[in-house]
Structure 1
Amino acid sequence: MEEIDKLSSENKSLFPGLAIFENDYAHALIHLAWYREDKKRFLVFGMVELFPAEFPPPEPSGKMSLSTINFGRQHDLNIQRVVISSKDALSWYLECRNTSITIPAAFGEKLAGKALQTSPLAEEPSWSHLITSNDLPFHCWSVVRAHHLIQENVPEEISKLFTSTEIICWLKDKLFFDLQNYQEWKGSLHLIAPNPVFRLFHQRLGITENGFESSDCHIEPRAGRDLAALDLYLSERHPTGIVSFCRKEITEPYFSLPHVEHTEKVEYLIHSKQYGVLDWHEPVSFLRSIQFQSNLITGKKIVNVPDNRGESYEVPQLSAASSGIVGEREPASPITSHLRKHEAMRKRRKESERLGQKWFHGNQEEATIFVRELIKNAKRRVFIVDPYFATVELFSFAFATSRSEIEVVILTAAKDNLMNKDRADSNRDAGEVLLSQVQAYRQNGKIKVFVMTGSPPAVHDRFLVVDNDVWLSGNSLHTIGKRAGTMIKLPCPDEVAKNLENILTSDRVKPLEQWVLDRRSNKGIELESSERKDSSQ
């Protein structure tokens, strides 16, 4: 406690309870991106980036703007970065947290004090704690301490910006990360505090002549800082768990920590009595060997595709020239490879179970029951996309919902399906039979059927959307399980579901009722034309 009191008296905290002190940072760069609609402004992204005291002032940037005239005449997107003192930057961040977000005075007289509208902000973590992170996408430091103000639901004015590819690309280019890919950070504000005590911690594998292994460590303090009151916690992991754990008080920049035996993975954390966790890394392995193989291009193969396009392409022909291994050829313990191999196999099986990977072959009943269960458990929506969906599938699958309020949307195809004779009623077209059954059994659920026109239909694959999940099936529902095929839940369903909905609303798709009426009309015209032709003869 005496050591902590001494440190605190020499370097006072800027704000009560916050582990950021007067001598830690001199300057800060405030990054702000906002969207303007006439006189209203909305926060797109913001960051207070503190710079350790050894750094000179960072370079600001003038205001960069992108006209968004498609959304309105006086609508634009803006990004600007300004330099202020670290104390003023922290004061501004606290004002944003406690009241509302306004543009700081350093952004110029015309912008100073203008409000940036947001939905309610949630903080992560609770103030005055800071979270230590090594994977935030919007800064160039390695490990930082951070605090976040996050909008769970951004205003519609911000959401609509991300319907424009031009805006998405412009923001990515100016912010140096992709907000579309990190949607949780839309409309957010962040405090970023890089490590104020040391620049880097480097760890390498040390091996003695006797084969004993260790972590050889180097820590580099920042200018004017010492390594007092820093502790390194290091754990050594084997496939089945932690084999050792140790604490080392850091008193010098170079030191070694012995390992128990052949090193598998090492995890470390550096803790300061004054600052908390300053650095950490999840368990990683040391690079012991590199296997390489070089090839020579000995020629090329030209392939001509026998189609109407006259397409051809080239493939380089390779032959092995040399190969080898730099470093260890075999691990010290063969049992380690054995354990890691089975661990990897188990992870793959677990991932396939998470994605619902199913292989069906020769058992249509099993496949049918599986799909029905998915539909039965739906809570919000069911969307079936199958170019060969007809009357039999309506009864076999679409009526399997257990909640009467759920709407079942079906997207099927005309060619080679609804235009053919029905499989259940061979005297009538499949489209006619399907429409009559949907109308006759409306009490069995809310069913809407749409038809892909044209040849070929817009969708080839078969999809089943249940609530937020999208399943991909190799077989159509009327043959699923008969022939070998796979069904799997897609790991990133949102984009696929959106694309399917876009196809559903395209001009190549008609409601079943309209498609049947159009087909009847066309048949009538054809019949009338045929009768006139016969009478003229």
Structure 2
Amino acid sequence: MSGFIRPLQGVDSFDLKASGERLFFRRTLLSKEDATSWYRSLNEGERCTPVPTRKVDREDLDGLAFRVPRLEDVQPWPELGLPISEELFSRARTTTINPAPFIGSVPGRLHRRFGDRAGLEVFLRDRGAQAFAARRMHVDLFEYQEYLGSLVYIAPDPVIRQIDHFMVPAKDGKGERIIYRIVPHPGQSLEQVHVTAFDKEARLLTSFRTHQIPMDGILEVDKGTCIGEYGYVVTHEQHGVLAYQPSSSFLRQMNLNLRVASGKRLKVNAPSGDSTSSPRMEYEGTTGSELASNSIFGEVKNPGAGARVAIEARKRERLAEAKQAGQRWFAEDSRVEAAHLIRELLRAARKRVIIADPYLGALQLGQFLYAVHGSEVSVTLLTTKLAFNPRPKSVDTKSGLLQSFAQSLDDLNKHQQLVPDVRIISSSSLHDRFLVVDDDVWFVGNSLNNLGVKASMIVKLPDPNEVIERLHALAVAAPKLDAYVDKASKASTRGKENE
């Protein structure tokens, strides 16, 4: 800190909407000893904000009292952990979630003390406040809510500045080799640094070896051929885990295909909907394209059996992922199979069922709802007026269909002790069909009155929370069945009086 002369001053604030509260952000500069002492001193109850080590940095808002929730150390102090976005031997994912985005691109290890977010609900309802914090803390606290009311101690890598990991092609009678090049920070030694390398060949773990890093930082490992996947963990005898690289294969070939639009540019103007009053939308197109270049860099002489094993393994993984996601295809004329699956899903409900289907009518109540066990299960049904429109050439009337629906609800209450909350939403507000069972949501490709009659699909959604929230919003804004029936009855009476 001796070279830091300019005072570190300033407090930023943000007024939270509709609460009269204010959010403060203060960046302070503390010595390592003061920062560690303050971090460990925080326990449940009233504590004080940190006081900068240098007097020139101190302000009136330093050392103020604030409430600290009960904090839980998820790992013993002073053990630090390295954030990883993938498990040690898992298949590389196309998208990864960083468990600690606030550390940026500089490697660092963490200790965390988790509290709770009690009293911070107003912050979670204010996107402006979340953006204010994200710009300063480099983390979206709405997405990472576990850090609300919590503390994080971040220790940058004290030993290693850079790690290179690459393959050297076979040459002059020597096979392919893997090179690990580790560069320490100035004044640091690699004497206590080790690399544990692990190899995967054709979906088998074939090697797991720990190597001492030479003092020059360059470790060369003969492999013969490097067709598999390779990863490593760098450790220090005193500091613990410093770096981690999940297993991945080396890039051997790259195909570059470049196409150029050769025809004329077109401006396409089309209506955004079927209505004659629909607004129009524009987009650009071209009359054609041609291949400008097709280049291949690198060469794969013999991918080996491992490539075939990887292809077949990936097929099995996709099938397993589809099964886990509840993906089911119902062929035409599979009504019995489809209805059985829906009933099995409903039978598993313990706290909540929501069925959102624009054509949900009385027949579907008898076909499915008796599978729900227990009066403690709340049932919400979202349907539309489309469910009560008589079919062409049918003797049914709208009032008759509504009465039949009400009678089916009475039967459910009598025999199954279920009292569904029925909401009649606008027929223009929902097209897709959803089935909610507890905390899971299935997207249903066809209405329950037709599922399996024609080819259709059902799949469990990976993020159910958004759908549940949207369905709740639709339900709150829609009239209940009794209010809808009363309104429809009055409209029918007025119609008859005007005849």
TM-score after normalising by structure 1: 0.82
From 55, 68, 79, the equivalent of 1:129 is 79
From 334, 341, 354, the equivalent of 2:304 is 334
What displacement does 1:528 show? 1.6
- The answer on 1:486 being equivalent to 2:454 is no
Question: Structure 1: how far apart are the matches of 2:476 and 2:66?
Answer: 36
Question: Structure 1: how far apart are the matches of 2:340 and 2:409?
Answer: 22
Distance 1:147 1:98, change over 3 A: farther
Q: Give the letter aligned to residue 64 of structure 2.
A: K
Q: Which residue of structure 1 lines up, in the alignment, with residue 19 of structure 2?
A: 71
- The answer on 1:220 being equivalent to 2:183 is yes
Distance 1:236 1:294, change over 3 A: same
Q: Which residue of structure 1 lines up, in the alignment, with residue 131 of structure 2?
A: 169
- The answer on 1:420 being equivalent to 2:390 is yes
Question: Structure 1: how far apart are the matches of 2:292 and 2:402?
Answer: 62
CA contact 1:412–1:449 (8 Å) conserved in 2? no
Distance 1:94 1:505, change over 3 A: same
Spell out the pairing of 1:277-292 with structure 2 (5 A cutoff): 277-292=241-256
- Matched pairs, number: 469
CA contact 2:442–2:460 (8 Å) conserved in 1? yes
Question: Structure 2: how far apart are the matches of 1:332 and 1:78?
Answer: 61
Structure 1: stretches of 5+ with no match in the other structure: 1-25, 28-54, 531-537
Distance 1:225 1:79, change over 3 A: same
What displacement does 1:183 show? 2.2
Q: Give the letter aligned to residue 475 of structure 2.
A: L
Which one is further off, 229-238 or 359-368?
229-238
User: Tell me, what secondary structure is at the counterpart of 2:336?
Assistant: helix
Spell out the pairing of 1:137-536 with structure 2 (5 A cutoff): 137-151=101-115, 153-155=116-118, 157-209=119-171, 210=173, 212-250=175-213, 251-298=215-262, 299-305=264-270, 308=276, 309-316=279-286, 317-328=288-299, 330=300, 332-361=302-331, 362-414=333-385, 416-420=386-390, 426=396, 428-443=399-414, 444-454=416-426, 456-506=427-477, 509-530=478-499
Question: Structure 2: how far apart are the matches of 1:319 and 1:344?
Answer: 33
CA contact 1:97–1:149 (8 Å) conserved in 2? no
Q: Which residue of structure 1 lines up, in the alignment, with residue 48 of structure 2?
A: 102
User: Tell me, what secondary structure is at the counterpart of 2:493?
Assistant: helix
Q: Which residue of structure 2 lines up, in the alignment, with residue 113 of structure 1?
A: 63
What displacement does 1:141 show? 4.2
Which one is further off, 497-506 or 214-223?
214-223
What displacement does 1:256 show? 1.1
Q: Give the letter aligned to residue 197 of structure 1.
A: V
CA contact 1:408–1:445 (8 Å) conserved in 2? no
Distance 1:326 1:58, change over 3 A: farther
Q: Deviations over 1:95-148 (max 9, x none)?
A: 125876530122745333333334322222122321122442111244322100
Q: Which residue of structure 2 lines up, in the alignment, with residue 17 of structure 1?
A: none
Q: Give the letter aligned to residue 464 of structure 2.
A: P
Question: Structure 2: how far apart are the matches of 1:60 and 1:280?
Answer: 34
Distance 1:279 1:311, change over 3 A: closer
Q: Deviations over 1:373-431 (max 9, x none)?
A: 111110110010000001001111122211222121100001x3224369998355322
Question: Structure 2: how far apart are the matches of 1:440 and 1:255?
Answer: 76
Question: Structure 2: how far apart are the matches of 1:58 and 1:367?
Answer: 71
Which one is further off, 171-180 or 108-117?
108-117
Which one is further off, 445-454 or 234-243?
445-454
CA contact 2:357–2:434 (8 Å) conserved in 1? yes
Question: Structure 2: how far apart are the matches of 1:498 and 1:512?
Answer: 21
User: Tell me, what secondary structure is at the counterpart of 2:18?
Assistant: helix
Provide the identity percentage.
Answer: 25
Question: Structure 2: how far apart are the matches of 1:165 and 1:430?
Answer: 45
User: Tell me, what secondary structure is at the counterpart of 2:216?
Assistant: coil
Structure 2: stretches of 5+ with no match in the other structure: 85-97
Q: Give the letter aligned to residue 240 of structure 1.
A: R
CA contact 1:102–1:113 (8 Å) conserved in 2? yes
Which one is further off, 465-474 or 92-101?
92-101
Question: Structure 2: how far apart are the matches of 1:273 and 1:311?
Answer: 64
User: Tell me, what secondary structure is at the counterpart of 2:158?
Assistant: coil
CA contact 1:401–1:445 (8 Å) conserved in 2? no
Question: Structure 2: how far apart are the matches of 1:354 and 1:281?
Answer: 28
CA contact 1:230–1:273 (8 Å) conserved in 2? yes
Question: Structure 2: how far apart are the matches of 1:204 and 1:461?
Answer: 49
Which one is further off, 100-109 or 434-443?
100-109
Question: Structure 1: how far apart are the matches of 2:496 and 2:472?
Answer: 36
Q: Deviations over 1:204-225 (max 9, x none)?
A: 1112314611121211111211
CA contact 2:17–2:126 (8 Å) conserved in 1? no
Question: Structure 1: how far apart are the matches of 2:5 and 2:432?
Answer: 57
Question: Structure 2: how far apart are the matches of 1:100 and 1:63?
Answer: 21
Question: Structure 2: how far apart are the matches of 1:474 and 1:217?
Answer: 51
Question: Structure 2: how far apart are the matches of 1:303 and 1:331?
Answer: 47
Question: Structure 2: how far apart are the matches of 1:511 and 1:305?
Answer: 38
Question: Structure 2: how far apart are the matches of 1:423 and 1:239?
Answer: 63
Structure number with higher strand proportion: 1
CA contact 1:236–1:263 (8 Å) conserved in 2? no
Q: Deviations over 1:317-356 (max 9, x none)?
A: 432111121112x263331210111111111111101100
Q: Give the letter aligned to residue 222 of structure 2.
A: P
